[in-house]
Structure 1
Amino acid sequence: MNLVWQRFTLSYLPLKQYLTTSYLHRFLVGLLSSWRQGSILMQWGDTIAAALLSLVYGLAPFVSTTLIGLLLTGCVGFWLLLTLSDEAAPGNLASVTPIHLLVLLYWAVAATATALSPVKKAAINDLATLTLYLLLFVLCARVLRSPRIRSWMIVLYLHVSLIVSIYGMRQWFFGAPPLATWVDQESSFAKTTRVYSYLGNPNLLAGYLLPAVVFSLVAVFVWQGWIKKALALTMFVVNTACLILTFSRGGWIGLVVALLIVMGLLVYWWSIEMPPFWRTWSLPIILGGLIGVLLLAVIFVEPVRLRVVSIFADRKDSSNNFRRNVWDAVFEMIRDRPIIGIGPGHGSFNKIYPLYQHPRYTALSAYSILLEVTVETGFIGLAAFLWLLIVTFNTAFLQMQRLRKLRRNDGFWLIGAIATMAGMLAHGTVDTVFYRPEVNSVWWLVVGLIASYYTYTPQDQSQEGNSHLAPAP
């Protein structure tokens, strides 16, 4: 059973040998290597790539999606230049991981769905957008292999998110006019301020801040010195408070899931040093304390109680009723094109959804990651996406175990990455913000962070030595 799991998760796939013998890899990588050797600017290739990524993540909450798209295009163009001018050296082969293969598979399924889409023009445009995000992941996975750049990107995102959170807290204290009908105006919750900061949408703000909450928490254990730890703790408190004050139910669900997982993994990390009593009871005590705090908040804080109760109100809550009607239409769309879907992206969705929508329930997406993937790329795409998630989580856990044995503190970033992905998925299961640039770019940064830790294991090397593969195409 263990061998089946290892093969399913591509844990010991001999990628290095395949790439060494691949004609395609040898032809493309290093095509411009002689030019790069004579270029002074390209000697700083990874640093320039990190600067481009810094523009994306430093400006994302404050600028238009059009500018974000232009920055992503610049990142992808520079990645292509880096790849073509790379040296085809064995050290560069480690930058390709099992996660890359599953990302490529998912893109291939999306490209097939585009070719078979009933609205090809819209699907082609959205496939181009999807390609930008997937190649953003590839660039992140490459440059984040440098511990210095990895640390810089995390610090940058946390400081930007702190600015966003501080402005959100200001809205809470001084008031902020709603930019849309976020809540049912007939409910007792209607007069409660929902902060949205620079992002213009409380649900989107919650999705953007969720990774910041988790990474600022684990930064308390990674950053050295009391001043840095105090800064990380301040970030955690402010980000958490701002996320809570969005009153985004999906954001709250994601926050609870992420905190439960990060606490469980922290206990696992320290369990080898714990006395027997704490090794057994620390996790139940922590979980019980967290559940107790949540119950107290529900009992004594009226806005929290109203939002939590509304989760279980089914169609009596206007937001729930809206999602249920959208999901009913989406199920019909999936029923009509279950294998390969309608094509990727909101453009394809907006062309097809009006044919199925219930009156007065317009929507830009399926309000659920899994439903969105299924309606866009069918059950084949859903299978590829779930496989990608499983391989990514498995890779993160294996690398976390490796760093745990070495007692390296940067393994906490992997704990944060695992918890962040789980929380974002939980939030995205009931909301539509996952595909917005501010959130989707952070998602692929986290996936790239996990891929950047990937290393070939002794099992890989032994398999490479025992395999006799023909030259790959």
Structure 2
Amino acid sequence: MNSVWQRFTLSDLPLSQWRGGSYLYRLVGFLSAWREGSWFLQWANPLGAVILCAIVLIAPFTNSSNPTGVLLIAAGGYWLMLTLSDRLKTGSTPIHIAVGVYWCIALIATAFSDVKSAAFSGLIKLTLFLFMFLLGAQVLRSPRLRNWVMAVYLHVSLLVSAYGIRQQYKGVEQLATWNDPTSLLAEETRVYSFLGNPNLLAGYLITAIALSIAALFIWRGYLPKTLAGVMLVINTTCLFFTDSRGGWIAALALLITFFLLLRYWFAEYLPTFWRIWLVPMLFGSMTAVIILGITLVEPLRLRVMSIFAGREDSSNNFRINVWEAVFRMIGDHPIIGIGPGNDAFKQVYPLYARSGYGDALGAYSIFLETLVEVGWVGFALFLWFGVITFNLGLQQLARLRQIKDEQAFWLMAAIAACAGMLVHGLFDTVWYRPPINTLWWLMVALIASFFQSQEMSSEQ
């Protein structure tokens, strides 16, 4: 049974044999001599980190995807240059293989799409975001560069959160009907900071909260740890002010995941009593705090109760109508979908939408969105990619625990952030917007950057 799982997750894949038998992989490193003699490429990985930081810096502050797209193209070109000149040839991981297979299915879905031009546009967008993953997985292998890139993102997110909190107390124009107009919260302020949408801001802050917790453990010295604590408080407060129900649930999933990983990490240091009772006591305390908050804080209670209001809540009703149309779309395109991207979705969706609900940006669920874009084949591969990613993360966490490497806290943050974003994605598709999608692939790249195969371990 264990061998079946290892094969399914590519845990026992002999990457060295695969590399040796791959004609494409033989291109890797053929420019290594040029790299060794180039003054410019002596700074290859730091320059790659600069590109990653530039993407992180610009993503939340631009309403257009064009600037981010230009930087992602630069990331792809630079990754290709690094790969062709990589003498060590250690860049591939099981995650790379899963991502590559998924991209191939997206390519096939584009070829068979009824709206090929729109699907091709979506394929290009997917490819650009994958450049973020490819460059990040290579650059973030360096602990020093990893620390710098995470620090840059955390400082940017602090600015984003601080401005969001300012909106809460100074007031801000509500750019859309984000609250049910018949609700007692109809006039409630929902902050959106620089991102223009409270749900989008909530999705952005999930990663910030996870990395803030990690920084508490990794950053050394009183002042850096204090700064990490301030970041955690401000990011969490801003998330609360978004009034994003999906964001709140995602944050809960994030915290539970992170706590379980911390419990695993510190298990050997815990007395027997705490090993047995820590998890039940914490979950009991969290449940009590949530119930108390819902009971005593009316805006929180009304917002949480609206989750269970069904069609009586306008936001719920809109999503339900979109989901019904999406199910019909999936029924008509079950195998390979309509093609990737929201442009393809926007062209096909009106043919299935109910009257008055013909305008939707996506399926309001990343899982349904994947199903409708690339069909059941692509959806199965998406789930496979997710299993491989989390499995690799947990494997490398076990390895880091044995050598007591504190960089493991970044890995825990990446795993928890991915879990939170996936939970958020159950009810929304903000995941596909550049500020969130870049963070998703940055976190996947962060997990991949810790990869060390059994072959590599035996050589050390």
Determine the structure 2 residue equivalent to 1:311.
Answer: 307
Question: Does 1:335 pair with 2:331?
Answer: yes
Alpha-carbon distance between aligned partners in 2 of 1:407 and 1:31, rounded to the nearest angstrom: 36
Question: Does 1:278 pair with 2:274?
Answer: yes
Say whether the 8 Å CA contact 1:122–1:348 is kept in structure 2. Answer: yes
Determine the structure 2 residue equivalent to 1:469.
Answer: none
Unaligned runs of 5+ in 1: 463-473
Please give the per-residue CA displacement for 1:396-434, whole angstroms capped at 9, x wherever unaligned.
001011111212211111111111111100001101201
* Shift in Å, 1:107: 0.1
Which AA in structure 1 matches 2:381? A
Please give the per-residue CA displacement for 1:68-94, whole angstroms capped at 9, x wherever unaligned.
11111111111112222333xxx322x
Please give the per-residue CA displacement for 1:257-313, whole angstroms capped at 9, x wherever unaligned.
111111121112111111100000111111111111111110111110011000000
* Shift in Å, 1:314: 0.6
Which AA in structure 2 matches 1:71? L
Determine the structure 2 residue equivalent to 1:422.
Answer: 419
Determine the structure 1 residue equivalent to 2:436.
Answer: 439
Among 290, 293, 312, the alignment partner of 1:297 is 293
Determine the structure 2 residue equivalent to 1:383.
Answer: 380
Determine the structure 2 residue equivalent to 1:156.
Answer: 152
Alpha-carbon distance between aligned partners in 1 of 2:79 and 2:261, rounded to the nearest angstrom: 34
Determine the structure 2 residue equivalent to 1:454.
Answer: 451
Alpha-carbon distance between aligned partners in 1 of 2:23 and 2:381, rounded to the nearest angstrom: 26
Question: Does 1:45 pair with 2:41?
Answer: no
Equivalent positions of 1:165-314 (< 5 A) are 165-314=161-310
Alpha-carbon distance between aligned partners in 2 of 1:22 and 1:435, rounded to the nearest angstrom: 32
* Shift in Å, 1:33: 3.3
Q: Secondary structure at the match of 2:191?
A: coil
Among 362, 367, 381, the alignment partner of 1:370 is 367
* Shift in Å, 1:458: 5.6
Question: Does 1:36 pair with 2:32?
Answer: no
Question: Does 1:346 pair with 2:342?
Answer: yes
RMSD, matched Cα: 1.4
Say whether the 8 Å CA contact 1:13–1:460 is kept in structure 2. Answer: no
Please give the per-residue CA displacement for 1:39-93, whole angstroms capped at 9, x wherever unaligned.
3212211111111111100111112311111111111111112222333xxx322
Alpha-carbon distance between aligned partners in 1 of 2:121 and 2:17, rounded to the nearest angstrom: 36
Which AA in structure 2 matches 1:42? L
Say whether the 8 Å CA contact 1:329–1:357 is kept in structure 2. Answer: yes
Determine the structure 1 residue equivalent to 2:59.
Answer: 60
Among 404, 411, 426, the alignment partner of 2:401 is 404
Q: Secondary structure at the match of 1:10?
A: coil
Determine the structure 2 residue equivalent to 1:101.
Answer: 97
Q: Secondary structure at the match of 1:92?
A: coil
Say whether the 8 Å CA contact 1:145–1:452 is kept in structure 2. Answer: yes
Determine the structure 1 residue equivalent to 2:72.
Answer: 72
Alpha-carbon distance between aligned partners in 1 of 2:352 and 2:84, rounded to the nearest angstrom: 46
Alpha-carbon distance between aligned partners in 1 of 2:263 and 2:86, rounded to the nearest angstrom: 41
* Shift in Å, 1:20: 3.1
Which AA in structure 1 matches 2:45? D
Q: Secondary structure at the match of 2:61?
A: coil
Unaligned runs of 5+ in 2: none
What's the TM-score, normalizing by structure 1?
Answer: 0.94
Q: Secondary structure at the match of 1:179?
A: coil
Compared CA separation, residues 405 and 460, structure 1 to 2 (3 A): closer
Q: Secondary structure at the match of 2:266?
A: helix
Which AA in structure 2 matches 1:62? F
What's the TM-score, normalizing by structure 2?
Answer: 0.97
Please give the per-residue CA displacement for 1:95-124, whole angstroms capped at 9, x wherever unaligned.
210000000010000000000000111111
Please give the per-residue CA displacement for 1:372-392, whole angstroms capped at 9, x wherever unaligned.
000000000000000000000
Determine the structure 2 residue equivalent to 1:466.
Answer: none
Alpha-carbon distance between aligned partners in 1 of 2:51 and 2:74, rounded to the nearest angstrom: 7
Q: Secondary structure at the match of 1:323?
A: helix
Determine the structure 2 residue equivalent to 1:470.
Answer: none
Q: Secondary structure at the match of 2:146?
A: helix
Alpha-carbon distance between aligned partners in 2 of 1:461 and 1:240, rounded to the nearest angstrom: 42
Which AA in structure 2 matches 1:234? V
Alpha-carbon distance between aligned partners in 1 of 2:345 and 2:318, rounded to the nearest angstrom: 17
Alpha-carbon distance between aligned partners in 1 of 2:455 and 2:106, rounded to the nearest angstrom: 35
Please give the per-residue CA displacement for 1:338-373, whole angstroms capped at 9, x wherever unaligned.
000000000110111110011121201100011000
Alpha-carbon distance between aligned partners in 2 of 1:458 and 1:21, rounded to the nearest angstrom: 17
Q: Which runs of 4+ in 1 moved over 6 A?
A: none
Say whether the 8 Å CA contact 1:12–1:459 is kept in structure 2. Answer: no
Mean CA deviation greater in 331-340 or 47-56: 47-56
Mean CA deviation greater in 371-380 or 356-365: 356-365
Determine the structure 1 residue equivalent to 2:24.
Answer: 24
Among 118, 125, 134, the alignment partner of 1:122 is 118
Say whether the 8 Å CA contact 1:373–1:382 is kept in structure 2. Answer: yes
Compared CA separation, residues 460 and 11, structure 1 to 2 (3 A): farther
The size of the alignment, in residue pairs, is: 457
Alpha-carbon distance between aligned partners in 1 of 2:23 and 2:188, rounded to the nearest angstrom: 62
Which AA in structure 1 matches 2:368? L
* Shift in Å, 1:461: 5.7
Say whether the 8 Å CA contact 1:14–1:460 is kept in structure 2. Answer: no
Say whether the 8 Å CA contact 1:12–1:460 is kept in structure 2. Answer: no
Alpha-carbon distance between aligned partners in 2 of 1:458 and 1:347, rounded to the nearest angstrom: 43
* Shift in Å, 1:25: 1.4
Determine the structure 2 residue equivalent to 1:468.
Answer: none
Which AA in structure 2 matches 1:417? A
Q: Secondary structure at the match of 2:71?
A: helix
Please give the per-residue CA displacement for 1:26-49, whole angstroms capped at 9, x wherever unaligned.
2x2234334334432122111111
Say whether the 8 Å CA contact 2:122–2:340 is kept in structure 1. Answer: yes
Say whether the 8 Å CA contact 2:10–2:388 is kept in structure 1. Answer: yes
Mean CA deviation greater in 452-461 or 406-415: 452-461
Say whether the 8 Å CA contact 1:14–1:461 is kept in structure 2. Answer: no
